[in-house]
Structure 1
Amino acid sequence: MSDAPADAREILGWAEFGDAARELAREVVRSNWMPDLVIAVARGGLVPAGAVAYALDVKAMGTLNVEFYTGVAQTLPEPVVLPPLMDTSDLPGRRVLVVDDVADSGRTLALVMDMIRAHGLPADVDGDGVAGQTLPVDARSAVIYSKPRSVIEPDYVWRRTDRWITFPWSAQEPVTAEAEFAARP
């Protein structure tokens, strides 16, 4: 699916992906911080977020849809949040792990982290009946890969690379009606 030469790519297979997801979960556990909720950055973060959530035994999950890359090294001017929007009403005071496949430029992950952290809630933390402080969202990020040019440093990273990455879920061309009809004898 990538136009990058094979030797310029990092290729992740399904078995190694399983190891990567479990290692990310181990990093979270070793940090003595456990999420209440895992949020996937769709589409690339859907499979990793599910695998990490299973490994951590976290059942509460959310998804935030963001479009930025339109092809190999081709992006929109800025990341764009797509509908449907996630219900964020339960985020304040929670520990949230945001999972994506890669922090390439890091702009998508930075946008999502800013959005999640912005959902604090006025809270009466001293018990005087007045919401004088904001109860923050304790958000951290995990990615399978991080690249040196990323504008954000993820909290948990399985591997660092500067190469284009072929993930097992996006290694083949999409299945389309046109391709299926063209393949028929």
Structure 2
Amino acid sequence: MRFYSFEELDRDARVISKAVRDEFAPDAIVAIARGGLTFAHAIANALHLRTIFSINSIHYDDTQKLDTIDVFNVPDLELYKRVLLVDDIIDSGDSMVEIKRVLLEKFPQIELKTAVIFYKPKALIQPDFKISKTDEWINFFWENYEIEG
């Protein structure tokens, strides 16, 4: 298991944001909740972009992979042309593939690119923008907040 710190997020968001700005220049960001929210927020700040949305999917129950993927809370992207879909990690790729399918089916006018911090080499999909390839389980700093009692 590898711990991913705030300092790493700060560095990685700047790296990804520069590449995204230079190569794609999105007019909207969609964060996959919950894992992609922190990274997407950092990217939106770096790009001075206020059009940030979230989308939900359920493919895991804690750490157990489920048989189906439920995509919900789909934002209205009718007015946008270039959309960046952001998550923390692409593991199997199942969720990212399904979310992309749902968004492109509902909004065929958008050009959709993906950005993640980590991706697994055997995933069904490779991200357009990424920081690192990994086979490790990643413990992100934002996952360490729990209420006791």
Provide the rounded CA distance (Å) in 2 between the counterparts of 1:66 and 1:139. 17
Quick check: 1:107 aligned with 2:97? no
2:113 paired residue number: 140
Letter in 1 for 2:79: D
Matching residue of 1:51: 42
Cα-Cα RMSD:
1.5
User: Out of 167, 178, 181, which is 2:140 matched to?
Assistant: 167
Deviation for aligned residue 1:68? 1.2
Structure 1 ranges of 4+ moved more than 3 A: none
1:90 CA drift (Å)? 2.5
- Residues matched between the structures, number: 149
The whole-number CA distance in structure 2 between the counterparts of 1:115 and 1:58 is 23
CA distance in structure 2 between the partners assigned to 1:78 and 1:162 by the alignment? 23
Secondary structure at the counterpart of residue 39 of structure 2: helix
Gaps of at least 5 residues in structure 2 are none
| 1:89 lines up with 2:62 in the alignment | no
Normalising by structure 1, report the TM-score: 0.75
User: Which residue, out of 111, 116, 122, partners 2:103?
Assistant: 116
Identity percentage over the alignment? 31
Identify the match of residue 35 of structure 1 among 8, 26, 32: 26
In our comparison, the structure showing a higher alpha carbon Rg is 1
Q: CA deviation at 1:85?
A: 3.5
- Kept in 2, the 8 Å contact 1:119–1:137? The answer is no
Counterpart Cα distance in 2 of 1:99 and 1:15: 19
